[in-house]
A and B are shown apart, each in its own frame.
Chain A
Amino acid sequence: MTVTNNAPSGPSPDVAGAGTDVEVAVDLITVVVDGVEMRVPKGTLAIRAAEQLGIEVPRFCDHPLLDPVAACRACLIEVEGMPKPQPACAQVLSDGMEVRTQYSSEVARVAQEGVMEFLLLNHPLDCPVCDKGGECPLQNQAMSVGRPESRFTGAKREFEKPINVSAQVLLDRERCVSCARCTRFAEQIAGDPMIELLERGAKQQVGTAADEPFDSYFSGNTVQICPVGALTSASYRFRSRPFDLVSVPTACEHCASGCSLRTDYRRGVVTRRLAWDDPDVNEEWNCDKGRFAFAYLNQGRIESPMIREHGSLRVASWPEAIDAAARGLATARGSVGVLVGGRSTVEDAYAYSRFARTALATDHIDFRARQGSAEEAAFLSSKVAGAPVSAAYDDLESAPAVLLVSLEPEDESPIVFLRLRKAARAGTQVLSVGATATRSLGKMSGRLVSARPGDEANALRSLDDETRALLGQPGAVILVGERIAGSVGAASAVLELARETGAALAWVPRRSGERGALDAGALAGLLPGGRPLTDEQARRDVAAAWGVEAADLPSEPGLIGADLLEAARDGRLSALVVGGVELADFADPGLAVAAVENADFVVSLENHHSAVTELADVVLPVAVVTEKSGTFVNWEGRPRPFGQVFRDALTMSDARVLAMVAEAMGSSLPADVASIRKEMGALGPWTGARTPAPDTAPGASADGVVIASWRQLLDSGLMQEGEPHLAATARPTVAIVSASMAAALGETVTISGPAGSVTLPVVTGDVLDRVVWVPTNSPGCHIHADLGAVPGTPVQLSAGGAA
């Protein structure tokens, strides 16, 4: 007998690939469970074998993704030849072993009943007010395998309730059954052993060190896997009963990790989000941002279309607003820039892409609402857009070595971090090109390849032979983050390194929509599916799909990045269409504001009031992620389709709104997700010659002290608004420098850049000398606006200042 494993799914962004069945031979043994003979792979646990027969042995501590611990004893079964019942969750089956569960063994049944009675001795009977009630394994298993009535008549143990394990995670100690799922998750999966079983013995309880809360980016998972109601989240506690919720499978909109989620809502409001089981992607985990940051969905929404009249915005009807947008854009046709937000669905991005090229007759389009370079655009167009899967999560797990370039996965793609940590625990060598060896890199047992900000290309081109040999092994992977755009020559050097070593190369953008927007052609010079705009065949394909003449499509690649913004600022572009973009996210927010201010006509498609809507001439409100269906494409290139949570929402997607504007302009666009997917699917990925790869000479780091920086997972991001408990678990805003620099600076440092200065507490870290690390966009330190800086910008440091 053989068992089969599914390979990663296929490349096309519109449908999940069927995958290839790979046959893997494994050693099988014969065992007997409840009298049924079965063959299972060697090493199988009794509890898993029983599951395969549909036999559910009760359990609390057992979790398939955590190491067995046999802490709760609920799963006792009878094993032939053993004098006492054994825990099924830790019993490794050997050939010929005969085991009996509660279904065929009185010994097992009595043992389980006894354990259940024991676990319930001190467990309060507060199910009616407990958040877990209704979805509680303890409640369920007490009913299925416990005694009908307790014989315990004493006083139950009481604790002060609840205590804060962190600002977000609360603990009701009297409910805990000491299964150690949470502490094992923290240690084994997240690498954040900030919770432990304290006072082991009669007073055993989960707790933290006195002055170190459980501020893990992954803390919410412990709430989800707690098999009783001991751990609850401040955001959901006492909000709802599980049986009053409606659950919808969704995809996370926060980052390009691409987690499957379950969104629970009640009376038209999202009450919580959970990690959904997706073994190929997020396994059963997600990060706290994906779990808790959803309050923004209901806050600060734009409720109706608005148009500017006598200098100020006024509410308008949809027909009036659509008409105003269409007239203004028609006047500017051919001289319009389109800025697409990084969290658009692939369908919406496709609509912007087609809208720009047809209704607006422009190729001035860019989805990178952040620091972006022409070299990066060339890298993405030549290598990533519409390309087949080059590396998937599974490949990370099996890779002998993974090189990270301008990527801090715990902050910028947390599930990539979890998978890399899992890989590292099994032997994968993680390497990171950068200026600082973070605690996160330590959790992946990683090694730093030192490069001052700006020097990444040189570092990549002068890797030592040992590192090259690691990357030359079959299966090695290079992961590149969005910050590579800020380092001259780095993308070219990475391409060269991948060619030379044969390592797989994948781009891990930070935002959920960037890969989809790239695939959809929301970048100048690039049509959907990775088609070069300048390729005649590609233009003919796309024109046919869009029902236009190829000659009517723009033929010259348009402006991107700062060039596009400068053209709008200087009046060379007369209008802008801006969809879901935050101006402060650009490397030069002042330039972005000037661009929007100076453009004659600005149409903003937004769901929240923003700096753009303040300045826009027409504001068209669009749906948030719960009000529409769509697809995100994660860093692997894997489609993450999701359905509409609120089916009676009165809002429209960007694509639908654009279709209305297009129609008013005498053009046309598919308006609904199904039509767009069909059109994209028919176009498919480009198989012809791709745009040329960049070949930029390595840049060099500036002299003096330079900034190293990235966005922390929990920071000042707008989509985290309205969730103070989550914000309270964010890492403090500090400046990290080397020990020698810290000694010279003292407790605080004032960092001065071109646009201003910030004063921050100094923390000593494993950072290169003459480099100061600060967060990009955290409370008290927004490097673009406050300093006028990006990674690599030289800054002045002075000791002290009021932090």
Chain B
Amino acid sequence: MAISESTREQLQQLAARYPRPRSGLMPMLHLVQSLEGEVTPEGITACADAAGVSAAEATAVASFYTMYKRRQVGQHHIGVCVNTMCGLLGGDAVYEALSERLGVGHDAPTDDGQFWLERIECQAACTHAPVMTVDWEYMDDVTPAAAVEIVDRLERGETVLSTRGPAIRDFRATEQTLAYPEDGLAAEGTPVDDKMLVGLRIAKEGGMAAPGVPAPSAPTGQEG
């Protein structure tokens, strides 16, 4: 698929957001991925042109970050965290169940192009381990059975909600949000819940503090 003139204009607009165009390379790559379902050589060249770097330099970036795919991802990206916390709490079993259900291994698409399965690294959601992601939206506290059911429902075209609220769209739509995070969708739903703040509450109640650091006040921020 050729990169259209309007895409090139969008890439220029992303470049213009930064003091130096090359700083916009990562949202640019998300943009072409949202349009093409993968980062193609043509997409890389278009990003490189807009960012003022060589195609090889853009390829180096695209090949370093695992969120950029150089094969068609398909409709939905399914991630399962297999780092220590999630893995121990059932992430490995969730991955195995999904792998069997989908008939694919790590970092590969299903034959019908519906799903892409990937073992992923820590999503900073250990509170809700084991965690699965669908198009990078959280599915907290999953079990193998729940994970397979999510896939079944997606396959039937049913509406699936993230455990934190937002409705699952598809991989390309999420990539669009990653290119343009200001679309307001990033903070949809309830990114922070009580369970995430338990530790903070206990610390406050007990008056605990790290040496030399003031005791915590009321929680304001999101989980980091």
**A residues apposed to B, CB below 8 Å:** 192-201, 207-212
B30-62 CB contacts (< 8 Å) to partner A: 41, 44-45, 48, 53-60
Taking a contact as CB atoms under 8 Å apart, the answer to whether B57 and A193 are in contact is: yes
Is the CB of B64 closer than 8 A to any CB of chain A? Answer: yes
Residue pairs across A and B with Cβ atoms less than 8 A apart, 27 shown, are A193-B54, A193-B56, A194-B54, A194-B55, A196-B56, A196-B57, A196-B60, A198-B59, A198-B63, A198-B64, A200-B63, A201-B64, A207-B56, A208-B59, A209-B41, A209-B45, A209-B54, A209-B55, A209-B56, A209-B58, A210-B41, A210-B44, A210-B55, A211-B41, A211-B45, A211-B55, A212-B56
Additional pairs, 19, CB under 8 Å, beyond known A207-B59, A209-B54? A193-B53, A194-B54, A194-B55, A195-B56, A196-B59, A198-B60, A198-B63, A199-B63, A199-B64, A200-B64, A208-B55, A208-B59, A209-B45, A209-B48, A209-B55, A209-B56, A210-B41, A210-B55, A210-B59
Contacts of A195 in B (CB 8 A): 56
**B residues apposed to A, CB below 8 Å:** 41, 44-45, 48, 53-60, 63-64
Contacts of A192 in B (CB 8 A): 54
Contacts of A211 in B (CB 8 A): 41, 45, 55
Nearest chain B CB to A111's CB is how many angstroms away? 27
User: Could you tell me the distance between the alpha carbons of A212 and B60 in the complex, rounded to whole angstroms?
Assistant: 13
Contacts of B59 in A (CB 8 A): 196, 198, 207-210
Nearest chain A CB to B134's CB is how many angstroms away? 25
Taking a contact as CB atoms under 8 Å apart, the answer to whether B55 and A197 are in contact is: no
Nearest chain B CB to A206's CB is how many angstroms away? 10
Contacts of B48 in A (CB 8 A): 209
User: Could you tell me the distance between the alpha carbons of A210 and B46 in the complex, rounded to whole angstroms?
Assistant: 13
Tell me which of A193, A196, A198, A207 has the highest count of chain B C-beta atoms within 10 A of its own C-beta: A196
User: Could you tell me the distance between the alpha carbons of A199 and B44 in the complex, rounded to whole angstroms?
Assistant: 15
Chain B: interface secondary structure? Answer: helix
Nearest chain A CB to B64's CB is how many angstroms away? 4
Tell me which of B41, B55, B60 has the highest count of chain A C-beta atoms within 10 A of its own C-beta: B60
Residue of A nearest to B42 (CB): A211
User: Could you tell me the distance between the alpha carbons of A210 and B41 in the complex, rounded to whole angstroms?
Assistant: 6
Contacts of B56 in A (CB 8 A): 193-196, 207-209, 212
User: Could you tell me the distance between the alpha carbons of A534 and B58 in the complex, rounded to whole angstroms?
Assistant: 63
User: Could you tell me the distance between the alpha carbons of A198 and B54 in the complex, rounded to whole angstroms?
Assistant: 13
- For the complex of A and B, the 10 pairs showing the least CB-CB separation, nearest first, are A209-B55, A210-B41, A196-B60, A196-B56, A193-B54, A200-B64, A198-B63, A209-B59, A212-B55, A209-B56
Name B44's contact: one of A193, A194, A207, A209 (CB within 8 Å): A209
Contacts of A196 in B (CB 8 A): 54, 56-57, 59-60
Contacts of A200 in B (CB 8 A): 60, 63-64
Residue of B nearest to A200 (CB): B64
Contacts of B53 in A (CB 8 A): 193
Contacts of A194 in B (CB 8 A): 54-56
Nearest chain B CB to A731's CB is how many angstroms away? 16
User: Could you tell me the distance between the alpha carbons of A790 and B64 in the complex, rounded to whole angstroms?
Assistant: 49
Nearest chain A CB to B94's CB is how many angstroms away? 24
User: Could you tell me the distance between the alpha carbons of A200 and B63 in the complex, rounded to whole angstroms?
Assistant: 7
Nearest chain A CB to B125's CB is how many angstroms away? 23
Nearest chain B CB to A255's CB is how many angstroms away? 26
